A and B are shown apart, each in its own frame.
Chain A
Amino acid sequence: GQQLNQSPQSMFIQEGEDVSMNCTSSSIFNTWLWYKQDPGEGPVLLIALYKAGELTSNGRLTAQFGITRKDSFLNISASIPSDVGIYFCAGLLDTGRRALTFGSGTRLQVQP
């Protein structure tokens, strides 16, 4: 079952606003990934994080690997209409399990 709690479930914002979403868990993760999925399409990798405390940017996107290794957040600055979609966090558990665990997603809507 799901071991990642992703929040918020959905957001409706105005164009130009900044957005923040996060994933938390009671388990320790070795890797955090953030994906964006457009309707009917496959998820697209946005950012990958491999070390606790790591802060990585990709254009207007910034993500951080939490110090406790149990959380991660994604920020989007100055949102634009094409940011609309579902954002998923995914993590690799520190248990040797070789598969990613995905969060349930944050649905983002941007009002022009």
Chain B
Amino acid sequence: DSGVTQTPKHLITATGQRVTLRCSPRSGDLSVYWYQQSLDQGLQFLIQYYNGEERAKGNILERFSAQQFPDLHSELNLSSLELGDSALYFCASSPSPRPYEQYFGPGTRLTVT
């Protein structure tokens, strides 16, 4: 158990819909990262937040957005969903002194039908 929690574990929705994925980082970690992993693919970095502010952006679509709240939990919002958005979405957090030792949550499996 990495200490990072994600909800829900599974999500099935229809094209065109909007969903929100939630992540709580490890206690004390200020950085949160979001990744997308499609079937049998590597991890694609989407976005990073540090202490409530956006810190780095990867290949995140305009239909996707994220935020980090004062209690440090983060939400990833996916809108106008397409079939190709079906994937595992992982959240990771890292301790401030070593921001690149990232600890991953169990993921949310999104299925768009």
Contact B104 A42 (CB under 8 A): yes
Chain A residues with Cβ below 8 Å from B44 are: 102
Contact A41 B42 (CB under 8 A): no
Q: Chain B's interface: helix, strand, loop or mixed, by majority?
A: loop
Contact A99 B58 (CB under 8 A): yes
Q: In whole angstroms, how far apart are the Cα atoms of A18 and B90 in the complex?
A: 30
A-side interface residues, number (CB < 8 Å): 23
A-B contact count (CB 8 A): 56
Given contacts A98-B55, A102-B42, A104-B41, whether A43 and B90 have CB atoms under 8 Å apart is yes
Determine the residue in chain B with the shortest Cβ distance to A101.
B45
Determine the residue in chain A with the shortest Cβ distance to B50.
A98
User: Which of A35, A42, A43, A99 gathers most chain B CB within 10 Å?
Assistant: A42
Q: In whole angstroms, how far apart are the Cα atoms of A101 and B102 in the complex?
A: 12
B-side interface residues, number (CB < 8 Å): 25
Interface residues of A in 91-106 (CB under 8 A from B): 92, 97-105
Kindly identify which residue among B43, B48, B106 contacts A98, using a CB–CB cutoff of 8 Å.
B48
Contact B99 A2 (CB under 8 A): no
Contact A48 B100 (CB under 8 A): yes
Q: Does B101 contact A (CB under 8 A)?
A: yes
Contact A103 B42 (CB under 8 A): yes
Contact A33 B42 (CB under 8 A): no
Smallest Cβ distance from B67 to chain A, in angstroms? 18
Determine the residue in chain A with the shortest Cβ distance to B9.
A40
Contact A99 B48 (CB under 8 A): yes
A: which residues have CB within 8 A of B?
Answer: 2, 31, 33, 35, 40-45, 48, 88, 90, 92, 97-105
- Could you pull out 19 A-B pairs where Cβ atoms are within 8 angstroms? A2-B42, A31-B100, A33-B100, A33-B102, A42-B90, A43-B43, A43-B104, A44-B2, A45-B101, A45-B104, A48-B98, A48-B101, A98-B55, A98-B99, A99-B58, A100-B45, A100-B102, A102-B42, A102-B43
> What 16 new A-B contacts, CB under 8 Å, besides A42-B2, A102-B43?
A31-B100, A33-B102, A40-B109, A42-B106, A44-B104, A45-B103, A45-B104, A88-B42, A98-B56, A99-B45, A100-B100, A101-B45, A102-B42, A102-B44, A102-B45, A103-B42
